[in-house]
Chain A
Amino acid sequence: AQKITQTQPGMFVQEKEAVTLDCTYDTSDQSYGLFWYKQPSSGEMIFLIYQGSYDEQNATEGRYSLNFQKARKSANLVISASQLGDSAMYFCAMSEETSGSRLTFGEGTQLTVNP
């Protein structure tokens, strides 16, 4: 079974609007971490935001926020006030207590911001 599922291969959003990128995960560990990375066309992976399984509040980093719904095993990324530079691939990843610092990545979502 897939540990990380990103069901949206591609998403489009108008500049200055908000967009939600979906991520669901599967783990039997009680302690785990969820990460979002951005990959522009240049290929570098840029860390955006982190959510720990025991964090009671949703993580926020500037225009990025994570909508964490533990019971539903979802960790959706919300980007507010989209900018043209947000056009990129976005990957959700998970670390599990039983796997140490290893990350498992989803297949990614290609976000295109239209002017």
Chain B
Amino acid sequence: DGGITQSPKYLFRKEGQNVTLSCEQNLNHDAMYWYRQDPGQGLRLIYYSQIVNDFQKGDIAEGYSVSREKKESFPLTVTSAQKNPTAFYLCASSTIGFERETQYFGPGTRLLVL
């Protein structure tokens, strides 16, 4: 089955720790995205990548870092510089372009800072 997997489903972080959220896709999509969702709100773009070894900042990139060493994988690191990391994190992927490039989402990771 083609799709997007995210792990873990729940993640607990102590203050001052970096944590890495995994995102893998087998849809052969070129583009991948990371979003943050706070309770009762919409999604905000953190980072996105349209090609291996290249990525761009989204609207709320501060305190986060990413890598794109393989087409299938786009891990997100939440660094200690992110002051309020408790949120729901969603990864998505799509084909490249503009028109009709629907983004498909993974099941998400809930991050809680202890």
- Chain A residues near B (Cβ < 8 Å): 4, 31, 33, 35, 37, 42-47, 50, 52, 91, 93, 95, 97, 100-103, 105-108
Q: In whole angstroms, how far apart are the Cα atoms of A114 and B100 in the complex?
A: 33
B41, A107: Cβ atoms under 8 Å?
yes
Q: In whole angstroms, how far apart are the Cα atoms of A102 and B45 in the complex?
A: 8
B102, A35: Cβ atoms under 8 Å?
yes
CB-defined A-B contacts under 8 Å, sample of 12:
A37-B105, A44-B107, A45-B90, A52-B99, A95-B98, A101-B31, A101-B96, A101-B97, A103-B43, A105-B44, A106-B42, A107-B41
Q: How far is the CB of B32 from chain A (nearest CB, A)?
A: 10
Q: How far is the CB of A35 from chain B (nearest CB, A)?
A: 7
Q: In whole angstroms, how far apart are the Cα atoms of A91 and B48 in the complex?
A: 20
B98, A100: Cβ atoms under 8 Å?
yes
B50, A101: Cβ atoms under 8 Å?
yes
Q: Is residue B94 contacting chain A, with contact meaning CB distance below 8 A? A: yes
Q: In whole angstroms, how far apart are the Cα atoms of A102 and B55 in the complex?
A: 12
Q: In whole angstroms, how far apart are the Cα atoms of A31 and B109 in the complex?
A: 33
Please give, as numbers and ranges, the residues of chain A lying within 8 Å of B104 by CB-CB distance: 47
B103 to A, closest residue via Cβ: A103
Known: A33-B98, A50-B102, A95-B101. A43 touches B107 (CB 8 A): yes
Given contacts A35-B103, A43-B90, 15 further A-B contacts (CB under 8 A): A31-B99, A33-B100, A44-B106, A47-B102, A47-B103, A52-B100, A91-B43, A101-B96, A101-B101, A101-B103, A102-B33, A102-B48, A102-B58, A103-B43, A108-B40
Please give, as numbers and ranges, the residues of chain B lying within 8 Å of A105 by CB-CB distance: 42-44
Q: In whole angstroms, how far apart are the Cα atoms of A47 and B106 in the complex?
A: 12
A43, B108: Cβ atoms under 8 Å?
yes
Q: In whole angstroms, how far apart are the Cα atoms of A37 and B98 in the complex?
A: 18
Please give, as numbers and ranges, the residues of chain A lying within 8 Å of B102 by CB-CB distance: 35, 47, 50
A45, B105: Cβ atoms under 8 Å?
yes
Please give, as numbers and ranges, the residues of chain A lying within 8 Å of B45 by CB-CB distance: 102-103
